[in-house]
């Protein structure tokens, strides 16, 4: 099957007073129609910047996409005009965000906010848009949709608002839904409901999903394929079974071990020592080397390449890649 | 996304600083940020120059501000009197220097009074909360019900125009603004962990306020004090211009502008009214620039 | 909504009482006798002076005078002017409309200048336009309004002779319609320009910072992600939110407005309350002065109340809280 989205060598940098922050520094990945891709990493690893780059919503200044190619539906998004890009945003690619509490405009009714996108992209009149809006609210499981369509966001709970966001995002039948930490700000029980809803709607509408999260439980639940990011780069990619079965990169191992697991009988959770590197002073060599339990001399000198280690698996680590001519 | 970016920056600051020098105190960091702000530095430099001119006025001019010379009244600028003379033949540049003394003094003293009352009441209100807070804040509401200039005119008129009354009125009427700021900050600080720690250690209320709470509100106080001085200078000049502030023969920039009431002066003797007006404008705009710069330096989050 | 307004109204009562006590105290303990200017009249006999003292109630204890004054005010009686020998309420009513013309006219002008510049400055932060706007605003805040007025009078009134520099209409001539309107408008231009331009500064800075705050919000990102045009994002989604605090500020800016009006009325010989107040200060007309101050305080409180209510109207989050 052809790729719906293909990101090649994406570099998004931020130019600040203190220096250049290479928030995304050469990221490649692809996504097929109807597939769910999980992008995992700690906060600050560049996963959100990656998704905003796909939407071309990086605030400039200070940010700028300095290199790369983003092909969506055979079109390179980075060469489109702003007007062409607007036709894609909200229509072909839609997005939901981490904070349902602040992602809806407080001074407009939820109905008018959902209808806005429908009227813009589907060229429906107000009445038809309203019907479509109510249909979408029903679809995402909001009770009494026809009545609450004229309510304001503050009258909804966080979980309900996230449903509204999903309704808004899916209202134009996008081919790709970018979900940036869609459940992080929600209670655990609500999280499960929202994930279930997303899964269900994905099946129904055959939408591809780019799921950005730091929560491995969420990706395990949702994703077909996973990429792990660290300091602006992909360090490992694999399908969901392989990754959880046998993580290769020490960072991925660390992430998995720091998560409670019923199957494991260890008394306490492990933590990854140290913290995310200062983005202005990323250590030379492998960015993870100061925190890595298996660090070798070469890790401090040279950045390992992202190399295939059989099948669809790739890893960026000297443990798995032998430097050419070294042996 | 933007949040992530912010987090990054927060992480950056301490590390970046630590690399350049061992330890940088908070004031040093603020000073470094302020140095980068060109407009604020222009403001600061201007204020320093004006203050020096005012302080060292006696050494900068051979004239006395009150020396009358009836043989040379309303003279245009020449080599002897660089800005000409007024209707009593006094050297205008000299009076301008001395006027700066009064204007700056009034600005400083009245703002100090404002701060003293505002910080005390705001601190008490924020720290003790409940009924005390309610009472003080209603008091602040009452004081801020009066349009400033009308009530200032009224009070100065009742007390009689003098430099002391002007300072007193500006200070007494202007405290609610500062009190609200201090109260707000203390209210939010009070809930923070370090205050719980202080309570657990059994530190007295007075010590808590003086040692832990007030220093944390310094940033906002400094900013509003800087802008407050500017506002006070404007008020003083307006009152003096109306003849209700500092009375002649003491020169202030406000009462020097009264010469423009004379149509002939307004028309033909620019040196008698443009310079004092410009002086007020320049000092006030400099203070405002510095105040803005300080605010950005103290809270870089607000700048973006 | 009704309940909210009533609650806010009730909250104003203690403040109003506080205001009246404060004002009364200031006047009562002020040195000098308010009737002094009349006493100096050589034609007055001691009996007449005594009568006057009693008529104005100055011989009775302070608290009695206060309660008299308060109850009279509640009946709409603000006292009598000593110099103008007319009820204060009548005098205020005569002048307040000319003051309102100036005050609200200049407020409108300020908004017209401040909001567009503030919004564009914020959306083009750090551009040349932004720097120019910021400097313009700072100049508006920093220039003494009377000095600015002098400059305008000197240039437009005296040098170019384009505009009249005093009064609200040409004296001695009665123009027919529409020349009377034009004549009044010409008289208003300079005072309005001075007040409007100096007032625009702080409003512009406020709009700019409010707008900057709003365009960082998550819902603006949502609006962009929907594929809306930048214009719609800014002028629909952002501006509605950014104006909420600006509207509140407007209600609270009434005191500043009247402060500014006082000095401008004096400069331009504008026949409004500010000028009357200045005259009453010069002539030590205490009842009139007291009445005007009380009236201004009342006006300020009304403004605050209106600000609160309009806030509830523009911000849906308030309505149900």
DSSP per-residue codes, B41-57: HHHHHHHHHHHHHHHTH
Q: Which helix (H) or strand (E) holds A211?
A: strand A208-213
Q: Would the pLDDT of B283 be above 90?
A: yes
Specify the pLDDT at position C127: 87
The DSSP secondary-structure symbol of A208 reads: E
- Write down the CATH superfamily of domain B26-54+92-298: MetI-like (1.10.3720.10)
Q: Report the pLDDT averaged over residues C243-259.
A: 81
d(CA A206, CA A212): 19
3-state SS, residue A14: strand
Q: Give the confidence band of C115 by pLDDT, cuts at 50, 70, 90.
A: very high
Q: Which residues contact A83 (CB under 8 A, 6 or more apart)?
A: none
Specify the pLDDT at position B9: 41
Quick check: A225 and A314 in contact, CB under 8 A? no
* Residue appearing with tokens 């600050």: A44
Decide which of B54 and C41 is more confident: B54
* Greatest mean pLDDT range, A40-49, A240-249, B58-67, C126-135: C126-135
Written as six digits, the tokens of C252 are 């609270």
Q: Would the pLDDT of C212 be above 60?
A: yes
Say how many CA atoms lie within 13 Å of B257 toward its Cβ: 32
Distance of CA B303 to the CA centre of its chain: 22
Specify the pLDDT at position C35: 62
Q: Would the pLDDT of B3 be above 50?
A: no
Q: Give the confidence band of A266 by pLDDT, cuts at 50, 70, 90.
A: low
Average model confidence (pLDDT) across chain A: 82
Quick check: B19 and A18 in contact, CB under 8 A? no
Q: Which helix (H) or strand (E) holds C29?
A: helix C2-29
Q: Output A201-207 pairs: Cβ under 8 A, ≥24 positions apart.
A: A201/A139, A201/A140, A201/A166, A201/A170, A202/A34, A202/A36, A202/A177, A205/A170, A205/A173, A206/A33, A206/A34, A207/A34, A207/A170, A207/A173, A207/A174, A207/A175, A207/A176, A207/A177
Q: Would the pLDDT of C86 be above 80?
A: yes
CA dihedral A310, A311, A314, A315 (to 10 degrees): -40
Written as six digits, the tokens of A128 are 């038809």
Closest CA to A99 of A172, A28, A176, A162: A162
| Interface mutation vs chain C, best among A98, A107, A109, A114, most C CBs within 10 Å | A107
B-chain residues within 8 Å CB-CB of A57? 1
Written as six digits, the tokens of B37 are 């702000």
pTM across the whole model: 0.83
Q: Would the pLDDT of C161 be above 50?
A: yes
Specify the pLDDT at position B2: 40
Specify the pLDDT at position A22: 81
Is A281–B15 a contact, with Cβ atoms under 8 angstroms apart? yes
Quick check: B83 and B77 in contact, CB under 8 A? yes
Q: What is the CA radius of gyration of chain A?
A: 21
Average model confidence (pLDDT) across chain B: 82
Specify the pLDDT at position C32: 64
Q: Would the pLDDT of B202 be above 90?
A: no
Q: Would the pLDDT of A5 be above 50?
A: yes
Closest CA to B124 of B142, B105, B139, B141: B139
Specify the pLDDT at position C41: 65
Nearest CA-CA distance, residue B285 and chain C, Å: 5
How would you list the strands of the sheet with A19-31, edge to edge?
A: A19-31, A5-16, A63-72, A75-76
The model's pLDDT over C7-27, given as tens digits with 9 standing for 90+, comes to: 888 888 888 899 999 888 888
Specify the pLDDT at position B11: 41
Q: Which residues contact A314 (CB under 8 A, 6 or more apart)?
A: A234, A236, A237, A238, A306, A307, A308
Specify the pLDDT at position A264: 56
d(CA B88, CA A83): 71
Specify the pLDDT at position A305: 80
Specify the pLDDT at position B246: 83
Q: Give the confidence band of B304 by pLDDT, cuts at 50, 70, 90.
A: very low
The DSSP secondary-structure symbol of C175 reads: P
Please tell me which chains touch A, using 3 or more CB pairs under 8 Å as the contact test: B, C
Written as six digits, the tokens of C318 are 């308030």
C-chain residues within 8 Å CB-CB of B148? 255-256, 259
Specify the pLDDT at position A168: 87
Specify the pLDDT at position B1: 38
β-bridge partners, C157: none
Q: Would the pLDDT of C167 be above 90?
A: no
d(CA A171, CA A115): 9
Quick check: B159 and C31 in contact, CB under 8 A? yes
Q: Would the pLDDT of C165 be above 90?
A: no
The model's pLDDT over A248-260, given as tens digits with 9 standing for 90+, comes to: 888 888 888 777 6
CB pairs under 8 A between A and B: 42
Q: Give the confidence band of C114 by pLDDT, cuts at 50, 70, 90.
A: very high
Q: Which residues contact B105 (CB under 8 A, 6 or more apart)?
A: B163
Report the first-to-last Cα separation within chain B, whole angstroms. 15
Q: Give the confidence band of A327 by pLDDT, cuts at 50, 70, 90.
A: very low
Is A21–B8 a contact, with Cβ atoms under 8 angstroms apart? yes
Nearest CA-CA distance, residue B159 and chain C, Å: 6
The model's pLDDT over B102-150, given as tens digits with 9 standing for 90+, comes to: 999 999 999 999 999 999 999 889 888 888 998 999 899 888 888 888 8
Among A288-302, B31-45, B165-179, the range scoring the smallest mean pLDDT is A288-302
d(CA C220, CA A93): 17
Q: DSSP H helical segments within chain B, as ranges?
A: 2-20, 26-36, 38-55, 57-60, 92-128, 130-143, 148-159, 163-173, 175-190, 193-200, 205-207, 214-241, 253-256, 263-268, 274-298, 300-303
Specify the pLDDT at position B290: 92
* Greatest mean pLDDT range, B133-137, B185-189, B265-269: B133-137
Q: Which residues contact C301 (CB under 8 A, 6 or more apart)?
A: B145, C12, C15, C16, C19
Max Cα separation, chain A?
71
Q: Report the pLDDT averaged over residues B81-90.
A: 78
Q: How far is CA A312 from CA A41, A219, A226, A315, A318, in A?
A: 20, 18, 11, 10, 18
Q: Would the pLDDT of B5 be above 50?
A: no
Specify the pLDDT at position C39: 62
The model's pLDDT over B210-259, given as tens digits with 9 standing for 90+, comes to: 777 777 788 888 888 998 999 999 999 999 998 888 887 888 999 888 88
CB-nearest partner of B157 from C15, C281, C301 = C281
Decide which of C320 and A262 is more confident: A262
Decide which of A245 and B23 is more confident: A245
The answer to whether residue B16 neighbours chain A at the CB level (below 8 Å) is: yes
d(CA B113, CA B171): 5
CB-nearest partner of C224 from A57, A102, A108 = A57
The answer to whether residue B23 neighbours chain C at the CB level (below 8 Å) is: no
Q: Give the confidence band of B4 by pLDDT, cuts at 50, 70, 90.
A: very low
B-chain residues within 8 Å CB-CB of A43? 4, 7
The DSSP secondary-structure symbol of A4 reads: S
Give me the phi and psi of B286, to 5 degrees please: -65, -45
B-chain residues within 8 Å CB-CB of A280? 12, 15-16
Q: What is the CA radius of gyration of chain B?
A: 23
Q: Would the pLDDT of B201 be above 90?
A: no
Q: Would the pLDDT of A274 be above 70?
A: yes
Specify the pLDDT at position B287: 94
Q: Give the confidence band of B279 by pLDDT, cuts at 50, 70, 90.
A: very high
CB contact burial C44-56 (16+ within 10 A = b; e otherwise): eeeeeeeeeeeeb
Please tell me which chains touch B, using 3 or more CB pairs under 8 Å as the contact test: A, C
Specify the pLDDT at position A256: 80
Decide which of A135 and A310 is more confident: A135
Quick check: C145 and C193 in contact, CB under 8 A? no
Specify the pLDDT at position B18: 41
Specify the pLDDT at position B19: 41
Quick check: B12 and A279 in contact, CB under 8 A? yes
ipTM of the complex: 0.85
Closest CA to A54 of A161, A185, A179: A179
The DSSP secondary-structure symbol of A102 reads: T
Among A133-142, B147-156, C169-178, the range scoring the smallest mean pLDDT is C169-178
d(CA C211, CA C5): 28
Among B127-136, B199-208, C150-159, the range scoring the smallest mean pLDDT is B199-208
Q: How do A176-180 and A93-96 pair as beta strands?
A: parallel
CB-nearest partner of B1 from A18, A48, A278 = A48
Quick check: A291 and A42 in contact, CB under 8 A? no
Q: Would the pLDDT of B49 be above 90?
A: yes
* Domain spans of chain B, in order of start: 26-54+92-298
CB pairs under 8 A between B and C: 133
d(CA A248, CA A256): 11
């Amino acid at each position: 099957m052809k790729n719906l989205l293909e990101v090649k060598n994406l570099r998004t940098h931020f130019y600040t007073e203190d220096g250049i922050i290479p928030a995304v520094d050469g990221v490649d990945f692809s996504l097929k129609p109807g597939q769910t891709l999980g992008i995992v990493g700690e906060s600050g690893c560049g996963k959100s910047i990656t998704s905003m780059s796909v939407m071309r919503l990086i605030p400039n200044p200070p940010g700028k996409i300095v290199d790369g190619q983003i092909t969506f539906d055979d079109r390179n998004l980075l060469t489109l005009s702003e007007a062409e890009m607007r036709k894609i945003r909200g229509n072909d690619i839609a997005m939901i965000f981490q904070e349902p509490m602040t992602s809806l405009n407080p001074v407009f009714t939820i109905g008018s906010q959902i209808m806005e996108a429908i009227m813009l992209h589907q060229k429906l009149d107000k009445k038809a848009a309203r019907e479509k809006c109510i249909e979408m609210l029903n679809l995402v499981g909001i009770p009494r949709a026809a009545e609450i369509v004229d309510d304001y966001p503050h009258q909804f709970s966080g979980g309900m608002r996230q449903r509204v966001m999903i309704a808004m995002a899916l209202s134009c039948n996008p081919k790709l839904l970018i979900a940036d930490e869609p459940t992080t700000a929600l209670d655990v029980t609500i999280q499960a409901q929202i994930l279930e809803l997303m899964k269900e709607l994905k099946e129904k509408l055959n939408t591809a999903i780019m799921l950005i999260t730091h929560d491995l439980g969420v990706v395990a639940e949702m994703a077909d394929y996973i990429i792990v990011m660290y300091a602006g780069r992909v360090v490992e990619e694999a399908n969901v079974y392989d990754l959880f079965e046998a993580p290769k990169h020490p960072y991925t191992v660390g992430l998995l071990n720091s998560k409670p697991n019923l199957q494991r009988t260890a008394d306490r959770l492990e933590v990854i020592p140290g913290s995310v590197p200062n983005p202005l002073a990323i250590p030379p060599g492998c960015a993870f080397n100061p925190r890595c339990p298996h660090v070798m001399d070469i890790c401090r000198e040279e950045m390992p390449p992202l190399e295939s280690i059989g099948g669809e698996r790739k890893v960026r680590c000297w443990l798995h890649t032998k430097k050419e001519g070294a042996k | 996304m933007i949040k992530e970016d912010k987090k990054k920056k927060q992480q950056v600051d301490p590390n970046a600083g630590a690399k350049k020098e061992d330890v940088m105190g908070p004031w040093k960091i603020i000073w470094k940020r302020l140095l980068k702000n060109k407009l604020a530095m222009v403001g600061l430099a201007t204020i320093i120059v004006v203050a020096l001119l005012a302080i060292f006025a006696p050494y900068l001019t051979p004239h006395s501000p009150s020396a009358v010379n009836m043989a040379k009244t309303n003279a245009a600028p020449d080599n002897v009197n660089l800005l000409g003379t007024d209707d009593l033949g006094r050297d205008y540049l000299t009076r301008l220097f001395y006027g700066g003394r009064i204007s700056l003094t009034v600005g400083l003293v009245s703002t100090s009074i404002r701060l003293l009352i505002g910080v005390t009441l705001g601190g008490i209100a924020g720290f003790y909360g409940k009924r005390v807070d309610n009472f003080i804040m209603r008091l602040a509401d009452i004081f801020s019900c009066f349009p400033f200039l009308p009530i200032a005119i009224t009070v100065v008129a009742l007390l009689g125009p003098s430099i002391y009354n002007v300072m007193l009125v500006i200070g007494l009427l202007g405290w609610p603004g500062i009190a609200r700021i201090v109260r707000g900050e203390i209210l939010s600080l009070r809930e923070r962990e370090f205050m719980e720690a202080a309570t657990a250690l059994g530190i007295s209320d007075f010590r808590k306020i003086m040692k832990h709470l007030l220093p944390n509100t310094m940033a906002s106080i400094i900013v509003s004090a800087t802008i407050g001085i500017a506002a006070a200078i404007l008020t003083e000049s307006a009152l003096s211009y109306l003849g209700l502030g500092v009375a002649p023969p003491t020169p202030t920039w406000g009462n020097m502008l009264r010469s423009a009431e004379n149509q002939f002066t307004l028309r033909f003797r620019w040196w008698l009214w443009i310079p004092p007006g410009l002086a007020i404008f320049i000092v006030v705009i400099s203070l405002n620039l510095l105040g803005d710069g300080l605010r950005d330096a103290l809270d870089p989050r607000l700048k973006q | 909504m009704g309940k909210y307004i009533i609650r806010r109204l009730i909250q104003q009562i203690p403040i109003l009482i506080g205001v009246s006590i404060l004002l009364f105290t200031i006047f009562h303990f002020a040195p000098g006798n308010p009737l002094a200017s009349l006493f100096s009249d050589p034609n007055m006999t001691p009996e007449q002076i005594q009568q006057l003292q009693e008529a104005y109630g100055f011989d009775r204890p302070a608290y009695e005078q206060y309660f008299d004054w308060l109850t009279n005010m509640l009946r709409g009686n603000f006292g009598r002017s000593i110099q103008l020998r007319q009820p204060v309420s009548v005098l205020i009513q005569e002048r307040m409309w000319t003051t309102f013309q100036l005050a609200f006219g200049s407020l409108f002008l300020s908004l017209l200048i401040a909001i567009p510049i503030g919004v564009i400055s914020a959306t083009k932060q750090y551009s040349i336009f932004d720097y120019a706007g910021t400097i313009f605003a700072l100049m508006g805040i920093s220039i003494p309004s009377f000095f600015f007025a002098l400059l305008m009078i000197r240039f437009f009134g005296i040098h170019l002779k384009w505009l009249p520099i005093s009064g609200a209409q040409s004296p001695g001539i009665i123009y027919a319609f529409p020349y009377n309107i034009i004549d009044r408008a010409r008289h208003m231009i300079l005072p309005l320009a001075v007040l409007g331009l100096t007032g625009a500064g702080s409003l512009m800075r406020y709009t700019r910072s409010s707008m900057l705050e709003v365009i960082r919000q998550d819902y603006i990102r949502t609006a962009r992600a929907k594929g809306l045009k930048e214009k719609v994002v800014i002028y629909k989604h952002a501006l509605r939110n950014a104006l909420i605090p600006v509207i509140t500020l407007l209600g609270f800016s009434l005191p500043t407005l009247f402060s500014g009006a006082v000095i401008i009325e004096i400069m331009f010989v504008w026949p409004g309350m500010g000028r009357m107040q200045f005259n009453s200060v010069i002539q030590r007309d205490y009842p009139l002065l007291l009445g005007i101050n009380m009236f201004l305080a009342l006006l300020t409180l009304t403004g605050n109340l209106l600000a609160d209510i309009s806030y509830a109207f523009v911000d849906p989050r308030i309505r149900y809280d």
